Every structure is written in C-alpha cells, then in structure tokens.
Structure 1
Amino acid sequence: MVRSDAELSVRSLDVDTWPAFAELVEANNGVWGGCWCVGFHVKLGKDRTAAQNRSEKEERVREGRTHAALVFADDRCVGWCQFGSPDELPQIKSRRLYEKGLTTLPDWRITCFFTGKGLRGRGVANAALGGALAEIARLGGGTVEGYPEETDDRKVSGSFLHTGPMAAFENHGFTRTRPIAPHRWVVTRTVAAA
C-alpha cells in the first residue's frame, strides 16, 4: 500500500526502472488486459498475447526505443506517462479524424497515462506529464502533441482517460488545436531544449 502522504518523484523508464514498471503492470492485469503499454507502438490484435506485449516492451526498453516518465511514491512505481516520436508511437486513436486535420507531424507525442488502482486523484498524471515534458526538453525539445479526454464535468471511467485528462494538459500549458472525437482533442505545446 502506498502512503497517501508519500512524496512523488519521476524517473525515466529504462533498464534500471523496468522492474518497478513491470511490477505495477503485473499488479494491474497487464494494463487493460495485457497491453503492457505497447498499444501505441504496434497495432494490437486478437492474435497478440500479453506475454508477447511484455516481451516487446522489455525489448524496446533495453534498446532505448520507448520513453515514459514513471512516477514513484517512495520506491514504488505508481503510474506513468508514455511519450515518443511519431515513428516510435505511430498508432494513435481516432486516426481518420486526426489525419484529416493534420498539417505537420509533431516532434513528440504523449500517448498514454496509467495510474495504479486506488491511486487516482493524487496528482500522479500531473507529475507524470511534468516529468515527460522535462525529459522531452532534455532530449532537445520541439513540438509536443497530446490527445486528452475532456471530461466537461461528466464522470468518466478511468479506462477512457488513458490518453490523459484535459485538465492536466492545460495545467502544463497545452493549447487545444482540434477535436478528433466527441470528447478527445489534439493539444499542442512547444517545449524548449534544456
């Protein structure tokens, strides 16, 4: 159990933090039934297993082909925000509407968030997004896109917020660019290199 007063810190997903990331994923049924946070890397189909997704994610971590800001409470990973280039994360939701309004690809995409069971509402997504933006700045900055869900004061299941809550993006200076679903937007921000 994570203490409610535990201070949050952010670390990058890499070979050293992989065990903590894997522990959180395993404790949450592989994340949405076995995605292992590869759903924006590759097209998921019924023929892919959770074991394949886990193996693929771990291989990408070892090769430095995946990025995430992991949020820790003490020494336990409690959530994350995944980000990467469009080449690294080519699979996005609402693709048809996204491409219809596309003029230029961003340098970076922020594609998904996850917060462990019982930990929502404690600032994990906000900390993860801040950590992702800091890492993007360290990696050279550029145009960053996200695809958050607007809650419009409606109750929304956490599974629908996997692309992030609009409030977190707006708190970090993102601007709504265009809608791509009834409650999902493309938001953008430029991040200066650190």
Structure 2
Amino acid sequence: MSDHTIKALTPVTFDDFAALVERNKGMFANCWCTWFHPEDREPDSTAEDNRAFKKRRVDEGIAHAALVYDGDLAIAWAEYGTPEELPNIHHRKQYLATTERLPDYRVTCIQVERSHRGQGLAAVALRGAVELIAHAGGGLVEGYPHDTGGVRKKNSSFLYNGTRTMYEREGFTYDRPKGLGNCVMVREVARSAPE
C-alpha cells in the first residue's frame, strides 16, 4: 500500500474529493457525504445542494476526511470529525442511551471507488483518518462499522463504514452493538508530535 498517499480534505483538495464523488454518481443517493452533518441543510436537497453544502463546511474547516490518493487521483476517503460536526449517526437514540462518554472524534463514513475495491483501501483510509486525528491532538475515537460476524456476505456498496473485523485489525476494540447490524468500536489515539 506504499503507492498510496493520504491528504486531508481541505479547500485545496476539495476538487479531488468532488471528482471522486462525481465519478461514483454522488455516492448513496447523491449524499455527497453530508448525511452525518447537522440538519442545517434543506430536507429535499439535490446533488448540487449537497455538493455546495459540503464545500461550505470544508471551506469553514468543519468537515474532515482522509483522502487516499493513487498518484494524483483521490480514490477513497474516510470521513471523521467531532460529535458536534457529525451528530447524525444511525441508531442515535439507542447510541445515546448506552453512552457513558462521547468520543473526541468519530469516523462515520468510509468509501472506496468501485473500480478500486477489494484492495484494502478502506483500511488505508481508516489509518489515514487516525493519523490526521493524531496530528489534531488525538483522543478517544469511535467508528460504527458493520458487524457481519465474519460470516454473512454483504455487498461492499452497502458497507458505508467498513467492517468490525477491519476496525479490529486497525487497533480498535469492540464496545457494544448499535442497531441490528452495526457496532461501536473504540480506540484511544495518542497526540502525534508535530512534523
């Protein structure tokens, strides 16, 4: 995987992210990775609305992701942020009822371009997010992957946040179930020394 590099989603890299999303038809019903953000957008948003919303949040420094590059082409990403930046997690009511402490950061969405799937890039994206979180000060990080039990096969298009097994390989530990097919995985990430 040394051929791949990680860059943060910023105003400078937004066009690379946009090209990735556009090549993949906006991802999940033209979401543009906006679903987990606060509800300060129109309920019947179009793809163009969601793109503009995401761009505004990136420009304001309140939308974060690790972009995975193959050369100059962004081919995967992992969205992360604070609970304030990304409050709209699935099964939120159940999650809050079983939460003792909110994390410092959460990873809410991992996507790999269709033509690059099956190469371990979701794990590369997750590692990139953890690395960027470490540079931002570290802390308790949560992810909400699918808990397939290592048995059930699921179409990779629907694994919007990877699998429990992948998170375990990346140093996360199982905390509790969330909904019918997801779980809460946690990892304490140390602050990274400035480069």
Pick aligned residue for 1:38 from 34, 39, 63: 34
d(CA) in 2 for partners of 1:173, 1:124: 16
What's the counterpart of residue 174 of structure 1?
Answer: 172
**2:161 matched to which residue of 1?**
163
1:85 to 71, 82, 85: 82
Which of these residues, 74, 79, 100, is aligned with residue 103 of structure 1? 100
> Aligned match of 1:121 in 99, 115, 118?
118
Equivalent in the alignment of 1:153 = 151
Q: Does 1:131 align with 2:133?
A: no
Deviations 1:12-64, CA, capped at 9 Å, x for gaps: 10111111110010111111121000110034875111111100101111111
Secondary structure of 2:115 counterpart: coil
1:112 aligns with 2:124: no
Q: What displacement does 1:144 show?
A: 0.5
Q: Secondary structure at the match of 1:71?
A: strand
RMSD: 1.6
- Distance between the aligned counterparts of 1:175 and 1:107, measured in 2? 16
C-alpha distance in 2 between matches for 1:130 and 1:180: 22
Residues in 1 aligned to 2:22 and 2:113: alpha-carbon distance in whole angstroms: 11
Residue type of the partner of 1:113?
I
Q: Which of 43, 46, 49 is equivalent to 1:49?
A: 46
Give the Cα separation in 2 of the matches to 1:109 and 1:125. Answer: 16
**2:5 alignment partner, one of 4, 9, 14:** 9
**Distance of 1:97 and 1:160 partners within structure 2:** 21
**In structure 1, the residue corresponding to 2:29 is in which secondary structure?**
coil
Per-residue CA deviation, residues 64-110 of structure 1 (Å, 9 max, x unaligned), is: 11110000111111010000000000100111221121111110000
Q: Quote the sequence identity (%).
A: 42
CA distance in 1 between counterparts of 2:114 and 2:71 reads 17
Corresponding residue SS for 1:114: strand
How many residue pairs get aligned? The number is: 190
Contact 1:179 1:185 in 2 (8 A): yes
The amino acid that maps onto 1:8 is H
TM-score in terms of structure 2 length: 0.92
